[in-house]
Structure 1
Amino acid sequence: MGKYCFKKLVRMIIVMFLISFFSFAVIYFAPGDISDMYVTADMTEEQRENLIAELGLDKSMVEQYGAWAMKMLRGDMGVSLSNKSAVWPQFQERLPATVLLMGSSIILSLVLSIPLGLWSGYKKNTWVDNLISSISYIGMSLPSFWFGMLLIIFFSAILHLLPSSGMHTVGNESVFDTFKHMILPCITLSIGHVAVYIRYIRANTIGQLSEEYVLTAEAKGNSQRKTLFGHVFKNTLLPIITLLGMNLASLVCGSFIVESVFGWPGIGTLAMTAIGARDYPIIMTYVMLSGFLLVMGNFLADLLYAFVDPRIKRGGTRNGR
């Protein structure tokens, strides 16, 4: 297991290096001069040249990347170009709101998709299966920003049941008030993942129901319900482990849109503002955080697979891959 973890860790480091390098290169070769974000109109030519040299903008891309990477490894994410404040404290301030929304959407996705996927697979080709499958297809095709605006119009503008934006009502920071503000963005962020999880669980349930161990359990007199939840259930969840790992980054990136629609004060809103202002230090920090969540999610998913799937050898590869 140690060798397996080491290989995965090395791959994770290589992927993070490639993400950082190509992201930095995209910004470096983007139209416009980055130095214009630092230079003011009242600067003399000498002051301008000194500032550019101090910032290292007169060096090659590789040299600039190396200097930036060393700062990142020391925990220095740079200074925001728009508000002249350190970048990482701004992320630390907003990260709890994004984690709260992301964690709630993961829980909601699993709570809804697991029973629906199992029931759909168990009732294959019946009206129940057709109904659940139709709903999941619709969920996969809904644009999150469009669905979020529909929820705002219906539940906030028409019914006046739920708040349309923000995380708290002014002067009220109770848990219940936060919960009310979180309902609509959480549903919007979860709907696409619920649909995908249902399809995977359904397909895996259908496959597991034809396995010999299910026929053996039924021959021993086990009820269909006991067989479904006692044997098939845990085996159908194995693909979900991988999907959850892969979707960690997509939940953060998805919150980019959802947080903007609902005015949720997370890192997605911060990144959206940074893109509009061409605030490159914040943009790069957001890209690196998303990339880290992606590779870390896959790393944790592989570790979980190694513990729960007996077909994975202790040395490290899955059969058939």
Structure 2
Amino acid sequence: MTTFLYLTRRVLQAIVVVLIVTVVVFCLLHALPGGPARGILGPQATPQKIAEFNREQGLDQPLPMQYVYYLRRLLHGDLGTSYTLNEAVSQLIVERLPKTLVLTVLSAFVGLALAIPLGVWQAARRNKPVDYAITTLSFIAYSTPVYFLGLILVLLFSQLLPWFPPQAPQGDSLATVLSDPAALVLPVVTGAASMVAVFSRYMRAATLENLSEDYVRTAKAGGARQHAILWRHVFRNSLTSIVAMLGYYVPVLFGGALVVEQLFNYPGMGLLFWNAAQSSDYPVLLGCVLVISIATVSGTFLADLVQRAIDPRVKAGRT
């Protein structure tokens, strides 16, 4: 399959998935008790105000026409208005999303920087005491709730050992958040912990699988050293499964960011979603769901492109 055909197929698939997401969000909006007007205007709204709102927003039209109108508004970046903050949802997301991206990217970078070499190291020492010890710690880290882990880190490194602030950096701008790197340490470590546990296991399994391949035996027969085989050949081939999993891990990262941001009072999109859930601010909730869904589709698409670039078998269409 040529690169052009592959990209065309993946782009069309992404567009279809995004359209399905818009249908789901549209249905959720109309499944609100009393409809969108009641959810946005509140339970005290009079029938006259609801009728006027429905007429202004086109909600008195047939559902197919309403969906077309909804898509038109989305294409113009109109995600509605928050009725608790009285601001455009798109503006709120534009302000908060970069901060969440900083948190999730830093957490992913730290998690992968630890998980990948750790998984290779475990595979090279398979069934040895250090392998069992790291496996046990990984299972503990994976099964520990993010909220509980964050509280433990705050108690240890903010209360007993006052090394880091218990609260994430505050401020409306991204520059203000980045100006206090010490306050980012605990949120980033909390977000990265489960990722280390998950991806170290994937990397260990992928490395063990590649160590049993014929090219490894051929390299050994040619006199190559174990260290060179491991890092020059096995390492690259093992990364393909990690890259594929990373794209599907995007919603997990955003889900973890929601808990981490609420715990550390980090002014990102996760905290925005949490506060909107507490106040039943439906436009904000649905806007966040739509953005996270699009981010998931985009992450999967990019992961497929990277995997195709580093794995010749995918490029040749054999997987």
TM-score in same-fold range (> 0.5):
yes
Given residue 230 of structure 2, which amino acid in structure 1 is its aligned partner? L
Q: Percent identity?
A: 34
Residues 231-276 of structure 1 show CA distances to partners (whole Å, capped at 9, x for unaligned) of 1111111111111111123212220111011101101111111122
Corresponding position of 1:307: 309
Contact 1:25 1:61 in 2 (8 A): no
Task: Identify the residue that residue 207 of structure 2 maps to in structure 1.
Answer: 205
- Residue 311 of structure 1 aligns to a residue whose secondary structure is helix
Structure 2 SS opposite 1:145 = helix
Q: Normalising by the residue count of structure 1, what TM-score does the alignment of the two structures yield? A: 0.90
How far apart in 1 are the matches of 2:125 and 2:247? 28
Corresponding residue of 2:41 = 38
Q: Is the Cα–Cα contact under 8 Å of residues 208 and 236 in structure 1 kept in the other structure?
A: yes
Structure 2 matches for 1:172-211, cutoff 5 A? 178-211=180-213
**2:196 and 2:313 mapped to 1: Cα distance?**
27
Instruction: Please name the residue that 1:251 is paired with.
Output: 253
RMSD (CA atoms): 2.3
Instruction: Specify the alignment match of 1:94 in structure 2.
Output: 96
Residue 314 of structure 2: SS of its match in structure 1?
Answer: coil
Q: Which amino acid aligns with 2:243?
A: I
Q: CA deviation at 1:27?
A: 3.2
Amino acid at match of 2:277: I
1:184 to 1:318, Cα distance in 2 relative to 1, 3 A: farther
Deviation at residue 192 of structure 1 after TM alignment: 1.1
| Separation (CA, whole Å) in 2 of partners of 1:278 and 1:229 | 51
Asked if structure 1 preserves the Cα contact closer than 8 Å seen for 2:120 and 2:235, the reply is: yes
Tell me, which stretches of 5 or more residues in structure 2 are unaligned? none
Q: Which moved more, 1:123-132 or 1:220-229?
A: 220-229
Residue aligned with 1:276, SS: helix
Deviation at 1:158, TM superposition (A): 2.4
Q: CA deviation at 1:174?
A: 7.4
| TM alignment of 1:254-273, pairs within 5 A | 254-273=256-275
Query: What letter matches 1:252 in structure 2?
Result: F
Structure 2 CA distance for aligned equivalents of residues 262 and 135 of structure 1: 24
Which residue identity lines up with residue 206 of structure 2 in the other structure?
A: N
Task: Give the conservation status (yes or no) of the 8 Å contact 1:168–1:181.
Answer: no
Which amino acid in structure 2 is aligned with residue 178 of structure 1? D
**Structure 1 stretches of 5 or more lacking a match?**
none
TM-score using structure 2 length: 0.91
Equivalence for 2:148: 146
Q: Relative to structure 2, which stretch is displaced further, 276-285 or 260-269? A: 276-285
Does the residue aligned with 1:75 lie in a helix, a strand or coil? coil
Contact 2:139 2:197 (C-alpha < 8 Å) held by counterparts: yes
Aligned to 1:233: 235
Contact 1:39–1:48 under 8 Å retained in 2: no
One-letter amino acid matched to 1:227: I
Amino acid at match of 1:157: Q
State the partner residue of 2:13. 11
Q: 1:56 to 1:197 in 2, by over 3 A?
A: same
SS of residue paired to 2:313:
coil
Structure 1 CA distance for aligned equivalents of residues 254 and 92 of structure 2: 16
Structure 1 residue 83 displacement after superposition: 1.6
Q: SS of the residue aligned with 2:82?
A: coil
The farther-off stretch of 240-249 and 194-203 is 240-249
Change in 2 beyond 3 A, CA 1:284/1:239: same
| Matched length | 314
